[in-house]
Amino acid sequence: MANKDLKKAKIDKNDEFYTQISDIEKECSNYKEHFKGKTVFCNCDDPYESNFFKHFAMSFNSLGLKKLVATCYAGSPIANKELSLFDDETIENKTTRSPHKIEITEIPDMNKDGAVDLADVKLLLSSNKNNLTRLKGNGDFRSQECIDILKEADVVVTNPPFSLFREYVSQLVEYEKKFLIIGNTNALTYRDVFRLIKENKMATGITNFNVGMYFIVPDTWEKYHKIENGKKLVRNSNSCWFTNLDHKKRHEKLILFKKYSVTEYPKYYNFDAIEVSTYKDIPSDYDGIMGVPVTFIDKYNPEQFEIIGLGISNSGLEIGVKPYKEEHKKYRKEIQKRGAVDGDLYFMKNDVVDVPYARILIKRKGI
């Protein structure tokens, strides 16, 4: 129920879902060396409410950032709940929120209390209006104004709209930007996204894979999963981090302990590979191609495995999957009931057709 609401809201321009700062800190803490001396751009974030902006503002000095930039789209749904940055605005503008950019190159201890926090950020912005400017356009990440800012950035960190994920990633790739972003795990099977993973140009992050995250939603929401610290939270079980920043998990070797057997690992009828129902069961002594669940991506070490392709027909990737064999066409209706079409991987188990969902085809290296 809440997941359905999340997907619907992600399609709307006014995306009212906010990532918890605990999730941001947990993931970002693994990339400190990638942020030092860099310009970080949060281009889907209203600094009034964005925990991405708050995290990097409060960590600006400890991370050694060169610059922090955040842009806000037109009509941000939250008005002046945390930082009232435009004190000269009319009541109407404060309610509708005009698109703007915040740019920070230093955060001193403005109030001399011995710590740098949001209070110092507010004082800094109040004392130097050049840090805060209104955008001429609507603040959309696809606008030329925001693209020009993107060109000057080193690393992009944000939670983009799930419905625009393909387009968002495509833009980052086009401008050759490093990124750490949140997306739907289903995006792993998108043709362009999967190709980046296959070519080792993109990977999942370190935390929250296949577990999901809780997102903060406005008080007006009637449907939610729980309340913490007075805020309503909705859980999206299909969310994870995506990045092209290198991290230690990418180099961890998957320990394999099972041995291959013909009876335990059935072969597909329309592709020369075996079915492995979980990454934990990858045999240590098989040198052929294997079909594994999408969850394998979280364990993928490009030094240990090679990705061959994606075993579903709509992936748009040529991997040699053949149509159903003539003798199995009698099962066609049964197969189609399961959402499969010609070109999906399938195998027979106890004279029953089995069509595994979205198998990634892999092969071990050095065997």
Instruction: Tell me: do 242 and 98 sit in the same domain.
Output: yes
Q: Find how far residue 167's CA is from the centre of its chain.
A: 13
Alpha carbons 48 and 41: distance in angstroms, whole number? 16
What is the reported pLDDT for 10? 42
What is the reported pLDDT for 79? 37
Alpha carbons 198 and 195: distance in angstroms, whole number? 5
What is the reported pLDDT for 204? 95
- The pLDDT tens digits for 2-50 are 444 444 444 443 346 789 999 999 999 999 999 999 999 999 877 767 8
Instruction: Tell me: do 272 and 223 sit in the same domain.
Output: no
What is the reported pLDDT for 338? 66
By residue range, what is the domain housing residue 332?
253-364
Instruction: Tell me: do 136 and 41 sit in the same domain.
Output: yes
Structure token pair of residue 106: 């230093």
Instruction: Tell me: do 97 and 230 sit in the same domain.
Output: yes
Instruction: Tell me: do 239 and 301 sit in the same domain.
Output: no
Instruction: Tell me: do 182 and 197 sit in the same domain.
Output: yes
What is the reported pLDDT for 207? 86
From 250, 275, 300, the end of a domain falls on 250
What is the reported pLDDT for 1? 41
Q: How many domains does the chain have?
A: 2
Alpha carbons 146 and 177: distance in angstroms, whole number? 14
3-state percent helix, strand, coil for the chain, nearest multiple of 5:
30, 20, 45
Structure token pair of residue 216: 């903060």
What is the reported pLDDT for 274? 95
What is the reported pLDDT for 9? 43
SS3 360: strand
Instruction: Tell me: do 208 and 316 sit in the same domain.
Output: no
Instruction: Tell me: do 356 and 314 sit in the same domain.
Output: yes
Instruction: Tell me: do 35 and 84 sit in the same domain.
Output: yes
Alpha carbons 201 and 196: distance in angstroms, whole number? 5
What is the reported pLDDT for 339? 63
From 250, 279, 299, the end of a domain falls on 250
- Give the angle subtended at the CA of 112 by the CAs of 109 and 115, to the nearest 5°: 55
Instruction: Tell me: do 142 and 19 sit in the same domain.
Output: yes
Structure token pair of residue 313: 């027909």
The stretches in the chain having pLDDT less than 50 are 1-15, 77-96
Q: Check: CB of residue 13 under 8 Å from CB of residue 227.
A: no
Residue 155 identity (one-letter amino acid): V
Instruction: Tell me: do 272 and 189 sit in the same domain.
Output: no
Q: Check: CB of residue 100 under 8 Å from CB of residue 79.
A: no
- The pLDDT tens digits for 297-311 are 999 999 999 999 888
What is the reported pLDDT for 175? 98
Q: What is the pTM of this model?
A: 0.85
According to DSSP, the β-strands at 155-158 and 178-184 are: parallel
From 208, 224, 250, the end of a domain falls on 250
Instruction: Tell me: do 113 and 261 sit in the same domain.
Output: no
